Amino acid sequence: MRLPKTHNPLQFCMRSDCVEAGCDEAGRGCLAGPVFAAAVILPSGFRCDELNDSKQLSEKDRSRLRTVIEHHALCYAVEMCSPEEIDEINILWASVKAMHKALAKLTVRPEHILVDGNRFRPFEDIPHTLVVKGDGKYMSIAAASVLAKTYRDEYMQKLHERLPVYDWARNKGYPTKSHREAIKKYGITEYHRKSFNLVERQLEIDW
C-alpha cells in the first residue's frame, strides 16, 4: 500500500534503552460484545510505514497488517473482558483490566509500557506512560490497536452468525441506527452491556 505523502511514519518507541510493550483496546463504545485489548512487543529495528491507528485503516489492510505483526513481533497477546465484567466495573476499568490480562500473557516481560489513552492502573511494578492518541504516534501501540480491533471484529462476526438480526457483522456492536432498532424490536441478549443506554444515544464516556 502506498501511503499519502502527508502520512507521518510512526515512531518506533519512546524508550530505546529497554523492552517496551504497547497496549490498546477495541470496542469501548459498543453496546454489545466484550472489550478487547492487546499488548505487543516489537523487535528492535522493526519498521512498517503502513502501520497506523486501526481506525485509519481499511478492514483489508488491518487483516494484512495483523499477519505482519503476528509474524514479526517478539511477542503479543490479546485478551478481553466480558459484558458482565463491563457492567460490574464499568467500561473504563474493564478496558484496563483487559490490558492487564494481555500484559500478563506476554512471554517476554516488558520493562516499560506505552498505553493509548489517559487512564491506566499500574501493572505489577513496571513503569508506564500514557499517550493520548498514541495509536497514531507509536508503532507498538498501533500494532496493539490493529490486533485488538481484528480479534474483536472476528468475535463479533461469530456472534452475528448466531444472532443475525442485530447485524453485528456490519456494526460490530456499535450503536448504529440498525442496531438500536433491532434492540427495540427483538430486545437485548446476553451479549449486550446492560449498564449502557441501549436505546437512547450512548453518552460519551469520560476518560
**Domain 20-149: homologous superfamily in CATH:** Ribonuclease H-like superfamily/Ribonuclease H (3.30.420.10)
Buried b (16+ CB within 10 A) or exposed e, 78-114: bbbbbbebbeeeebbbbbbbbbbbbbeebeeebebbb
Q: Indicate the domain borders of the chain.
A: 20-149
Is the pTM higher than 0.85? The answer reads yes
Residue pair 159/168 in contact by the 8 Å Cβ criterion: yes
- What tens digit of pLDDT does each residue of 98-134 get? 999 999 999 999 999 999 999 999 999 999 999 999 9
Q: What is the CA radius of gyration of the chain?
A: 17
- What tens digit of pLDDT does each residue of 23-42 get? 999 999 999 999 999 999 99
Q: 116 has which bridge partners?
A: 131
- The single-letter code of the amino acid at 153 is D
Residue pair 161/155 in contact by the 8 Å Cβ criterion: no
Q: How far apart are CA 173 and CA 27, in angstroms?
A: 8
What the block records as the C-alpha cell of 158 is 461469530
